Amino acid sequence: MGFDVFPPAFVLLIAAALIGLVRGHARTAVILIAPLLTLWAIWQIPDGVQSTVKFLSYNIEPVEGSPLRRLFATVFAIMVFVGGLYSFRIAKWYELAAAFAYAAGAIGVCFAGDLITLFLYWEMMAIFSTIVVWCGGTPGARAAGIRYAIMHLLGGVILKVGIEGVVVGTGSIQIQAMLATDFSTWMILIGILINAAAPPVSAWLSDAYPESSPTGSVFLSAFTTKTAVLALILLFPGEPILIGLGLFMVMYGIIYALLENDVRRILAYSIVNQVGFMVVAVGIGTEMALNGAAAHAFAHIVYKALLFMSAGVVIYRTGKNKCIELGGLFRTMPVTAVCGIIGALAISSFPLTSGFTTKSMISQAAVDGNLMWVYMALTAASAGVFLHAGIKFPWFVFFQRDSGLRPKDAPWNMSLAMILFAGLCILLGVFPELLYALLPYPVNYEPYSIGKVLFYLQLLLFSGLAFFVLLPLMKRTMTISLDTDWLWRRVAFSLLKLVEKVLDFMGELLAQQRHRLQQFMHRMAVRYLGQPHTADSKERGMFARSWPIGTTALWIAGLLSAYVLLYYF
């Protein structure tokens, strides 16, 4: 037993503790150096199980390497570095510490060689991400954090039930590909899908993320859903139900984002949309599809964090987060606007961005599997992504009408973080081989052919035309959109109120009856035993009256004769 290699997750955990212990420049150094050390540690892990620890009767494998696991861990570590750079000057230290521990959980999941380790890191993510949500600091963040925690702890319990079932059923705690065929595997699948924001509980994501701080949402956008995608790739490749589920998520994200007014909530819905693409890919399950899911997860983390950073700068500088209140910010925030637009183009999979080189692999996998409807739905969704995130986000924030706001552009560290990620979006779009080399399976795919580029340009540019033609239909309203969480935030709540009312009524009824009984007993007592006041002239209680002596003697005589008679017989 023992650790032959140092688990990379521990680097970030130690850093999370250090962030609380040191201050000033030392803290900044920890924030910036720890992710790089983690990245180094990640690339020290060779393929295969690296160490085993005996726990109860199980062989725990805390660190297992594979190209897929390293890929996800790599992008997580890069994310922590850039996220740390973005937030170290304005975020509270406890938010950063929680974010680092949260990322440590995500990286731990990446290298978990068995289901027990996976579960431990999984719960660690749930706990520390809740703290990041709470760091939003508003009453709304507090309430949303509680709902978020309940959802994830519930998901954890379901996952644990499934893991126990599988361990008892197969005797193995190994992470291996399975299909949802019986109760336990279904439980594992549901537990993972809750973290992936799959229906019917997608609402937790758009509920919690926009309530966190401008820096917190950057971290939140990256880890939870993408570890769920990794877990799906490891455990359920080729599970057919995921195709339908993923397509639903894709469309759900677009429709809800179109209805939304809150800038970060638009981005949150588009996380569900993008994760939907990956879930579809896992459902297809071929090598091309899994490559596509992994590559898309990598690219998605980068451009989604970039979009959240851009939105975060706007909220940090203006204090406003509604499309209605924003607009025209390109005048004074050129860096933020350009980086936001690059992120928006990447998420829309414009040619020469990372979205194009990764998302098209998933479409290609659908074509290879002869899944015409899936391919057509994904293509329509690509157009829809451009509509709801690619144009809508930059348009309403940076252009639209002039809101009169003239905020300063981002501070240097935030600009640098955004420029780094914007550069990465374009780098992976122009030189996709860099990412393809890291994918789990050999890549035999040419992203750029002139015909395909032309097809996507037609598709996307005419979606853009649709956006501007249909703008009158997309007037922003100061509204939220009901989701399934209405069931527990409203219906369950009112049921609870109803139960409370019924109990109240029963309690009142009981109190009334008790009062009446009390009055009755009182009346009886007064009637037979006397009156409280003896000085008045009223007749006394039955047993308190002065009876005539003759009557008493008669009673005694009667009783004595009865006694004698009884004795005699």
Partner 1 sequence: MNTDEKQLHWLVRPSTIRKLWIGFIIVLALVVAAQTMVYIKGYFGFDAWFGFGAVYGFVSCLIMVLVAKLLGFVLKRPENYYDQPFAGPDVETKNDTVKEDGHGV
Among 44, 170, 172, 479, binds partner 1 (CB under 8 A): 479
Minimum distance from CB of 320 to partner 1 (Å)? 13
* Rounded Cα–Cα distance for residues 164 and 191 (Å): 13
Residues in the chain, total = 569
Site size with partner 1, rule: CB under 8 A? 60
Residue 210 interacts with partner 1 (CB under 8 A)? no
Residue 122 interacts with partner 1 (CB under 8 A)? no
Among 1, 26, 437, 465, binds partner 1 (CB under 8 A): 465
Encoded tokens for 412: 């240097």
Q: Which of the stretches 190-198, 416-424, 464-472, 502-510 binds partner 1 when contact is defined by CB under 8 A?
A: 464-472
* Rounded Cα–Cα distance for residues 379 and 108 (Å): 35
For residue 59, give the 3-state DSSP assignment. strand
Q: Which of the stretches 22-30, 74-82, 117-125, 378-386 binds partner 1 when contact is defined by CB under 8 A?
A: 378-386
Helices (H), 236-324: 241-259, 263-284, 287-318
Residue 489 interacts with partner 1 (CB under 8 A)? yes
Q: Which of the stretches 128-136, 303-311, 395-403, 419-427 binds partner 1 when contact is defined by CB under 8 A?
A: 395-403
Hey, which residues between 325 and 364 contact partner 1 (CB under 8 A)? 328, 330-331
Hey, which residues between 245 and 284 contact partner 1 (CB under 8 A)? 251, 254-255, 258-259
**Residue showing tokens 């002239």:** 537
Quick one: 86 or 398, whose CB is closer to partner 1? 398
51 strand-pairing partners: 63
Q: Is the dihedral of CA 548, 552, 555, 561 positive or negative?
A: negative
Among 142, 408, 490, 527, binds partner 1 (CB under 8 A): 490
Residue 461 interacts with partner 1 (CB under 8 A)? yes
- Per-residue interface string for the shown chain with partner 1, residues 301-330, x marking contact by CB under 8 A: -----------------------x---x-x
* Rounded Cα–Cα distance for residues 104 and 42 (Å): 12
Q: Within a 10 A sphere around the Cβ of 296, how many other Cβ atoms?
A: 26
CB 368 within 8 A of CB 286: yes
Quick one: 490 or 523, whose CB is closer to partner 1? 490
**Please, is 379 exposed, middle or buried when counting C-beta atoms within 10 Å of its C-beta (0-12, 13-18, 19+)?**
middle
Quick one: 144 or 228, whose CB is closer to partner 1? 144
Q: Which of the stretches 121-129, 426-434, 491-499, 522-530 binds partner 1 when contact is defined by CB under 8 A?
A: 491-499
Hey, which residues between 421 and 460 contact partner 1 (CB under 8 A)? 449-452, 454-460
Say which amino acid occupies 558.
G
Element (H, E) at 17: helix 8-21
Residues 6+ apart with CB under 8 A from 299: 346, 354, 355, 357, 358, 359, 425, 428, 435
CA nearest 167: which of 188, 149, 190, 147?
188
User: How many alpha carbons fall within 13 Å on the CB side of residue 317?
Assistant: 21
Among 56, 473, 564, 566, binds partner 1 (CB under 8 A): 473
Q: In angstroms, how far is the first alpha carbon of the chain from the final one?
A: 94
Residue 505 interacts with partner 1 (CB under 8 A)? no
Quick one: 56 or 473, whose CB is closer to partner 1? 473
Among 21, 26, 177, 367, binds partner 1 (CB under 8 A): 367
Residue 404 interacts with partner 1 (CB under 8 A)? no
Among 80, 284, 307, 383, binds partner 1 (CB under 8 A): 383
Minimum distance from CB of 146 to partner 1 (Å)? 13
Residue 471 interacts with partner 1 (CB under 8 A)? yes
User: How many alpha carbons fall within 13 Å on the CB side of residue 208?
Assistant: 32
What is the 3 state secondary structure string of 424-456? Answer: HHHHHHHCCHHHHCCCCCCCCCCCCCHHHHHHH
Residue 518 interacts with partner 1 (CB under 8 A)? no
Minimum distance from CB of 386 to partner 1 (Å)? 8
Give φ, ψ of 136 to 5 degrees: -55, -30
Residue 37 interacts with partner 1 (CB under 8 A)? no
* Rounded Cα–Cα distance for residues 190 and 192 (Å): 5
Minimum distance from CB of 365 to partner 1 (Å)? 12
Q: Which of the stretches 61-69, 272-280, 482-490, 527-535 binds partner 1 when contact is defined by CB under 8 A?
A: 482-490
For residue 173, give the 3-state DSSP assignment. coil
Interface with partner 1 by CB under 8 A: which residues?
251, 254-255, 258-259, 324, 328, 330-331, 367, 372, 375-376, 379-380, 383-384, 387, 399-402, 449-452, 454-467, 470-483, 489-491, 493-494, 497
